[in-house]
Structure 1
Amino acid sequence: MKLKFKTQAYQTAAVQAVVDCFKGQPPATAEAISYRIDPGKAKKGVEDLFAEGGFKNADLKLSDIALLENITQVQHQQNLPQSSELVKTKVSRVNLDVEMETGTGKTYCYIKTIFELNKQYGWSKFIIVVPSIAIREGVAKSLEITAEHFLETYHKKARFFIYNSKQLHHLESFSSDAGINVMVINVQAFAARGADNRRIYDVLDDFQSRRPIDVISANRPILILDEPQKMEGAATLKSLEEFKALMVLRYSATHKTTHNKIHRLDALDAYNQKLVKKIAVRGISVKGLAGTNAYLYLQSIEISSKAPVARVEFEQKLKSGEIKRIVRKLGKGDNLFSDGFSNELDQYRGFVVADINANTDTLSFTNGVELFVGEATGDVNEASLRRIQIREAIKAHFDKEQALFQQGIKVLTLFFIDEVVKYRDYSAADEKGDYARIFEEEYSQYLNEVLDLDETPYIKYLKGIAAEKTHSGYFSIDKKTKRDVDPSIAKTGENKGLSDDVDAYDLILRKKEQLLKFEEPVRFIFSHSALREGWDNPNVFVICFLKHPDYNNEVTRRQEVGRGLRLSVNQLGDRVDHPAIVHDINVLTVVASESFKEFVTALQKDISDSLSARPKVANEAYFTGKVLKTPTGDVEVTPQLAKQIYKYLLKNDYSDDTDRITGTYHEAKKGGTLAPLPPELQAHAEQVYQLIDSVFSDSQMFEIGDDRRPKKNPLNSNFDKQEFKALWNRINRKAAYSVDFDSAELVTKAVAELDKSLRVTPLQYTIQTGEQAAQVTYDGLKDGEAFVLKATETEKNVHSIHSAVKYDLIGKIAEGTQLTRRTTADILKGINVAVFAQFRTNPESFIAETVRLINEQKATMIIEHLAYDPVEDKFDLDIFTAGQTKQDFSKAGDKLKRHIYDYVITDSGIERKFVETLDTCTEVVVYAKLPRGFLIPTPVGDYNPDWAISFKEGTVKHVYFVAETKGSMSTMQLTKIEETKIECARKFFNEINRKYAPENVKYDVVKSFDKLMDLVK
């Protein structure tokens, strides 16, 4: 597999922001970039005649004033705060900050920026500086896998290498090559105290008595700092001065020190634009109980056809006297002490299930003990907690894998551990640590449950993977013993917590694409907790922290969660990023070792803190001068327009007394109930709201869901709107139907249709002939390989192989058509003898086809003779709530604005597109996917229409509309039964309109939202 890359607008914007900062810089000339490389002592004896020619970056010709003007213009176009000065440092005259959220492809962006700067201005020498070995290896991998992609666009490749003080020959090529040259270097290689790391500043005999840093700096390289906040120590900054950089480009999601910021794509932007995965959390909460050590863990509550059941882990006494923990399903009234559950362990006396509440996810016992899903109580030690976490991670993995397998997306789960011995123990005979053993036990137990499902390609896939083959660990390797060991971790300084051992990351990076293939059995990855940046894989869907939370200024939940934020790819290497489905599929589950509330609160604080640079005050001064990007060009917000926006916010309580955006605004925006903008702003409404959204408030934070709980789907405030009540009152009618048609007419039409169309397929069988191969070696042959197939022919059986079976032909057809035996017999007697003779060749096919053709004729006649008689009876409101709790809305997409429920499960792609447009149409007040209980009786079965829609008064002709969505309006593609039900519905609503609400309700079939609007207008 090869990962595929494509040009994306948000990444192009980040690249263009850098390029535009140098408008007016003349393209490099041969004279401007040529220089003579210092040959060193080994060559100077020949009077430099043979000194090599080098190619450096051309000097930056723009003045400080011109540069600042370019920078402020770039900032202005993006509505960023405009710099008042060019921020200079001792490292470089130009320092540009690019803020990009983890998982949005910042490495891709700065590699593309390299190519674009070379294309526009001729600069060709770049050094990517990274804070750790992990990031260094990740950057090198990105340069490798994007090479062909950029070759297609720029028709050239970048030569790149990782700096190594023992392989200095690369520096000669870096200096002498005229093409794009990229050096990747980690700070330890030039800012650490070790002898090898100081070689870059030493005069080296094996480098012609030159200093490597002098050869590097002579190229006036452009420095690209990846995660610069980790490279701000005094020693590192002092060392960076030695590179004599032409400029410094800084890329990070969390800048600590700001310079001239020219681009921002923060966590909120990335989520709202659906550029990263959604986050869901499975927290494990340990709950202490006084006076008892009864161990209990409530894993989940499941809806059954009778009553909810609780999946609980508890202890059980075996016949041997040994105590072990088991998982069982409990129902109301079950007694853990007796009833064969714990086998009368004393600590479970009094634990009788009193209630299982699927709405609140709680399990209650008669002794007053209550547990929420995800809570553990009693004797909960660390080993218990880790086992629970591993079990939950496996369950989350399977849940996602079952849903995504058919879409060609491989699911990976990543476990963070703090000691290698917990996974790989070389003192054990099988070298498995505790976590490896626990994983295989829990995996095998859960796998057995999954394998009970119907045989599908997914189940076959699972059967082909052994438990011990589906997990693997990636750790540092001891160079002497070749065994996995805990990595060497920096204890202090700006690289605190980071490993300096390349072996910890080598294998996992080389297998990046291989891990994405279904053929690769590894799906669960164990790695040391130091693996925070540098490696990620787009298909990490579950992350589990098997370690104590130790979050401080250097390590945050957000950094670790970031390992799984990248959008997934399928087996073709294509990124799954279509806006309509991206967050249905791309959901990252975090299995934490703390409660859901604790983890989410802290994670949201991490994210909120990272947004501190965002403006927080929505006053006139902020809006004035901002740019609204419209399809017809940029529009600048004048002081008058700024005042209109400000007044709009105040008037509708969308901002408070301190000019902060309120939760009222964000709730109204989500619910589609925002007050209309003033007339002067309505032409650019979308852009105005985007500008308001750029002002940060805590209520703007995106929701992090509880992964254990599927989305609830309650009726919302739209259900109580007067417009929906008016619509419901018009369609909430029942009616009885009558059909009065002549049986003789049906017999005549059915006979004619059967004579014309009844074709029964004779039974067929295949005969294959073969012979033994002339020369056969039986060693290693599979069954049948010793014979060669010579011929294949198909024979028709003109005499039914079921001829011994007696059929009640009239009875079967009468049953299928709901006609009397007499009418059925009249039809069969009337058809042509040759047509009837087909019964003998295939009786089953004859009966099925005859039933189908008669029903089609019956359906056609029904419409002509059908009449509805409305009755006073109406539907109860409980049809809107019945069955909702049994549905899983976790993959139902984003919350809807105008629907009477928060979510809707669509039956097809046609319906999904219909909902997307319907929910954003300003002419729609409210709509409903009609519940299954709303049925119109018809002679060919009850009919459930799709949608009921209420439009704004005055905007359309038909304010109330009932719609059926079909992919094709062609009667050739609708079955006769579908066609009949639709025609019956037309008659039903016509009669309802005639008797109760003249012409107020329109019913029709539509294949798109545009067709709907044509009909209602």
Structure 2
Amino acid sequence: MELILQPSLPHQQTGVDAVADVFTDTAIKSPTMFYANPEIILSKDGVGQNIVAIQKRNSIQPENCAYSHDASCLNLDIKMETGTGKTYVYTRTMYELHKRYGINKFIVAVPTLPIKAGARQFMEDGYVKRHFRDVCGYDAEIELLTLEPPKKKKKGRQYFPAAVSEFVKGSNRDTKKIYVLLVNMQLLKVAKNYMLSRDDYGSVIEGFYRPFDALRATRPFVIIDEPHKFSRDQKAFGVIKEEINPQCIIRYGATFPETVSGRGKNKTVVHDYLNLLYDLNACEAFNQGLIKGVAKEHFEPVSKKEEKIKLLSVVKNEKAIFQHKSADSPTKTYQLQVNDSLSVISEEFNGITIQAIDKNAIELSNGLIKNVGEEMNVDIYMQSYQEQMLRLALERHFETERENFCGRTFKIKTLALFFIDDITSYRESEDGKKPYLLEAFERLLKEKLVATIKDLDKSEAEYREYLEASLNHIDECHGGYFAQDNSSSDEDIANEVNDILNGKKHLLAFRDKDGKYILRRFLFSKWTLKEGWDNPNVFTIAKLRSSGSETSKLQEVGRGLRLPVDECGNRISNQEFMLNYIVDFTEADFANKLVEQINSEVPGTTSVSLEQIKLVAEKMGKEEKALFIELLSKNYIDLEHNIIPANKTQFFEEYPLFKSGLDASKIKDRNKTSEKPIGIRKARFDEIKELWKVLNQRYTIWYDDNIDDDLEKGLSEILEAPSIFSEQVISSHRDIVRSDGAQMRTETGSGVQYSIASTLPYGIFLKRISSATNIPASMIHKSICNYVKRHGSIDDKYFNEQTVGEIIRGFSDWKMATLQGRFNYKKTHGQPEATALTHNDGSVRESIAQGRIGVKIEEGIPMEKYLYDTKAYDSSLELKNINTSIDEVIVYGKIPRNSIAIPTITGESYSPDFMYVVKKDNGEKELNIVVETKGVENKSTLRGIEEAKIKCAEVFFNNLSAQGYNVYFRTQLNNKKILQIVKEVLQE
């Protein structure tokens, strides 16, 4: 098949015109030497005015619009999100600059070999050349010269690098040729005897002894791909500026370098743009449907036993000390060296070894860098967890593939990409034994193929044929690429690598030239397919183990964001497509982080729309008109909704929703990072300190003496409950990233559930239940033996985490139903401790963290009787209480979150919401009231656990009253006012 490139796509044409129009009606001097470009006279032409006009035309934000003038070199920037066609745009820009101004010497600098291979493949491909010649009408062709390092140093005479020689010799009189030198970052480094900087060659090119001098003389235009890898303080960029000294540097990228200024609160981070001409950011790319959407999905932990290993310390190049923590065994420490396997600590880490030990970190064989103090969760390395991720990826793949094959006018070849961290888990060893990951994948693939074929109807006959061919040739359906493959002599592996790295069109086709199905569509790699490799028909990416990387989330999904092409090579842009992105549970927040990153790149605006005001007003709980008047009165906007330039910074600081476009959850996160301490009013605390002291006394819960007999009976009833012994089930959680037209957001999609074989040893099974319930293991064992006598033996597969959880939940329900009224509280004896409001000596603190009081803030000064100087709250009912003035109340305040730990029969502690000190009408006696606020209409709406905890609190406070403390506990529902509660207590 041939890929069909589309000319004049608006988002790509804008990028081409942005650069080409910079030189419109400017002074360009004809070259005096045949090998040089025409010369741009920056000091005499209108380049600066053109740049300003282009920035205005493309709505570049004011903060990025300053014209940056360099006397020796013009710098231009084009920002385009991953998957929107940067390579096409800069290639077409070279054609356009040649057509308009006769510029025919370009150097394309890329950071890595994969990007270099991708750029070379694109510019050399016949279909690309035909596109620019026949479709776009350019009467010229690119002569691509790729600079490669010398293979071996030869004795005797040395010659100029051939690529440089041909590039320099290329004549500007040949109007049919555009000379492009492709070079990667490593080859630009200046070092002694290095190929571009040395001057001892036995040949001379046009009078030049050094390759760098020859390149400088051509007055080239330099194009930099992935500028974040070429920051201006790096050596490679310095070499381009000083050694090559181009007339113009044009940078194309989704990510640009950042500059940091200031420290602490004054620290600011800005993108290092140089004459930014076009900004196609991620939000625009999603909003315009230029790339796929993203649906993230993960499985919850299988065991939930929190087994982890922690890197305690290192000695560079010598040893690393680990700590292994598990609920099932004592904490142990291990000392490992380079090349040692982590399987010594836990068998789940089989295949993971220590590659290097640095001063403060280690590097593992899977590419992870772990710093001292970091932990690794064992669950994600369990083979059973990996297997379910494979199964989920296949589920999503065939779900998508069936739609792409059977539900469209022209079929779309559907690919899936798996990132793993250990080549030995996929590549067969010399003894021919299949590794566990490969064996599991082929077994699961076979199962899924059989199930899918069985589900097809008569109208899907061709897809049935495709799947049956896959079933008969499982080994042809998948392939891998790993760095180690480069040194392999295996011909089959070499063909796989060539298919994945260079055979894009082959992978996209359904049949080869002989009509045989091309079945390879499941690709495995070890985090080596990053920038530079892409295939538009990747619809599923599965990170079988976390990369542990802080890499841009957009870069991580970038390999699958491009819009797909159909079997005829047409790019499909009029339909919505989704990239299935599967991660482990340690990256459960991936979708939120991706949304946050996308929205953070949305530039500030020069005006606000009515729709924005309405949206922000809703999120702030205000009326739309009231917010508009508020913005006007503060002189942030004018009557035409334009933002007042002088007040723009202050406006966005006070109303970040207008700039960031973040949804409510992101606002919540942002507020957390900007929370300020809330002051405690000392005079108010003095009036409530006695109640506070009583509430902070420590109590334990005591059950009736005859409870053990009932417990044995209760265990028997729990084991008889339906489905108490069940297979292990793992569930996935799916988040879909979508645009609502103005911002990105996440929504919950439908996940899947699978049963898995994950049996616990019987002793561990009993211990797990005992540690969670405090029931002796011997009593649990006795109950299970009695169950077996009644029903027969229990299959070992039912001794799993699922059954453990069901028994624990059953015991919790039994306690709530049985133990009410059969317990009491006893005060413990101990030394006074610091509390949320006081120091060790009992003196009041100056302030408390906002998060302990409430996540939301209402402006204004609280009532004089309120304990704190700020109105922080969690619910509207709480805010009503804070804003309610009651004559009988002396002082009141929110009880800091989790500060009062009342033990309950549920096994969880309990802390109420409000505390009040009130006086009777005659002022003779003070009473204390503790209130629990609930945003429901009646008690029947409360969940069982919540109701049980409240009943325990009633017993607790009745116990206090019996000891002579005047403390009344009340539950406040939505339909009851705090004044009613106070009046009721006063009347008792």
- The normalised TM-score by structure 1 is 0.48
- The normalised TM-score by structure 2 is 0.49
